[in-house]
Amino acid sequence: MVVKFKKKFQKDFLKKGYCILKIQNIKSLSYIRNKMLKLSSCKTLDKYHNNLNPVNLNKNRLNIFKLINQDKKFRQHYFNVFETFLDDLVGNEISMQHKINLNIQIPNDITSILEMHADSYAGESNYEVISWLPLVNAYKTKSMYVLDIEKSKKIEKNLSKFNQMGTDVIYNKYKKYFRFIKINYGEALIFSSNILHGNKENLTKETRWSLNCRFKGLFAPANKNLTSKNYSFMYEHLKVKPATIIGLNYKNPIFK
Amino acid sequence: MKILQGYTFTRNVEGLMIPTNIQSSILRNYCKDIGAQYKLHLDEYCFKNCYIQLHQIIKSRLKLDGIAVCSVMFFPSEIKELTKIFQLCKKRKIEIHFVFENIVFKKQAITPFVKYINENRQINNIVSK
């Protein structure tokens, strides 16, 4: 099957397993950022750590997480930011993860480190994409690192050799291939669930605020391994077309 | 305040399969109850016999006081491997809190502890059938 893609971000995504996008829907992006500013009670999200006792970080994060997920407008605006890109990368019948996740990574905090992983390794669909929306400019260790799809596959082939060593050994061995994403507020990242990524201790002097949420084609298969990440535990169907509704309601005639 | 790292498991282990967010919530509440700080959970990779993230937590250079995990079932069943893990934890002064079984590994002698864990697992398997 030879499929040619016209748009640069489609080509980038196919080649690298991720792409950086310039957000078009500024109205929705502004809604999201304004809401976060209000909930964080600080004027500049980058400086959030200045008046924070680090022990309260996770409690505050969970509180904001709860509030944004209670706000249906927030969810709609988040989807609006990504909709056109998802249409071109995933499809127009879409499932969206139940919750939008929030990361607040303050400088020198070790409790928010996420070790190297691919979401599909944790049982999610191999057809899934992860949307990542920074609410501040992110760079170096304030950002996250990714490995492109080809290098991820290379590591995957040798993964079992590292079973009793841990992922740091892999990270250090292939360090030169991992790239901390430089991304500004107003841009977004979409990456495949099959690429390796993670974050490290934030050694900059600024706090990173970012949101993430997973999407997949409505009928895209679940992970090949039997895992606890059931469709209905993970996602809600967001965009369904009429033919699908008719199909879902179809019942075979019963012959007695 | 102690820092406990959450360790969650997505594979089906002899019928035991709990959504990660529920595991995380259980572990977070457990940490709250015992007055520990919860460090964001790490999901184990879903490949059969893979314990790479567990080893990562144990060997991590970050200062951790322990690991919080829902069940003993989410640890390797092979005695040799299990013994090695507890030896490593003891050496690095990492506690392991098995929340469902209400078992905490701290400084116990390893051989009888592994034996106990393994018996617990075997009984569980027999009774569940």
**DSSP alpha helices (H): ranges in A71-134?**
72-89
The pLDDT value given to residue A79: 97
User: Which residues of chain A from 159 to 178 reach within 8 Å of chain B, CB to CB?
Assistant: 159-160, 162-168
Is the pLDDT at B112 greater than 70, yes or no?
Answer: yes
Min Cα distance A24 → chain B (Å) is: 32
Longest dimension (CA), chain A: 73
Is the pLDDT at B1 greater than 90, yes or no?
Answer: no
Tens digits of per-residue pLDDT, A117-144? 999 999 999 999 999 999 999 999 999 9
Is the pLDDT at B79 greater than 80, yes or no?
Answer: yes
pLDDT cut 70: percent of chain B above it? 99
Compute the mean pLDDT over every residue in chain B, rounded to the nearest whole number: 91
The pLDDT value given to residue B107: 85
The pLDDT value given to residue B120: 85
Number of domains, chain B: 1
Q: Does B43 contact A112 at a Cβ distance shorter than 8 Å?
A: no
Give the mean pLDDT of B50-66. 91
Which residues span the domain enclosing B95?
Answer: 3-128
Model confidence pTM above 0.95:
no
- With vertex at residue A58, the alpha carbon angle to CA A23 and CA A238, rounded to the nearest 5 degrees, is 40
Interface confidence: ipTM more than 0.85: no
Longest dimension (CA), chain B: 42
The pLDDT value given to residue B129: 66
B98 contacts chain A (CB < 8 A): no
Contact A35, A75 (CB under 8 A): no
- Tracing tokens 């679940």 back to the chain, one arrives at A222
pLDDT cut 90: percent of chain B above it? 71
Q: How many angstroms separate the CA atoms of B84 and A151, rounded? A: 31
CA nearest to B6 within chain A: A111
Q: Which of A117-121, B36-40, B121-125 has the highest mean pLDDT?
A: A117-121
Weakly modelled stretches of chain A, pLDDT under 70: none
- In whole angstroms, how far apart are CA A148 and each of A247, B66, B103? 38, 33, 41
Which residues does chain A have within 8 Å of residue B19's beta carbon, measured at their own beta carbons? 228-230, 233
* CATH number where B80 lies: 3.40.50.1390
Tens digits of per-residue pLDDT, A232-243? 888 999 889 999
Q: How many angstroms separate the CA atoms of B118 and A174, rounded? A: 37
Is the pLDDT at B128 greater than 80, yes or no?
Answer: no
CA nearest to A223 within chain B: B46
The pLDDT value given to residue B33: 96
Q: How confident is the model at residue B44 (pLDDT cuts 50, 70, 90)?
A: very high
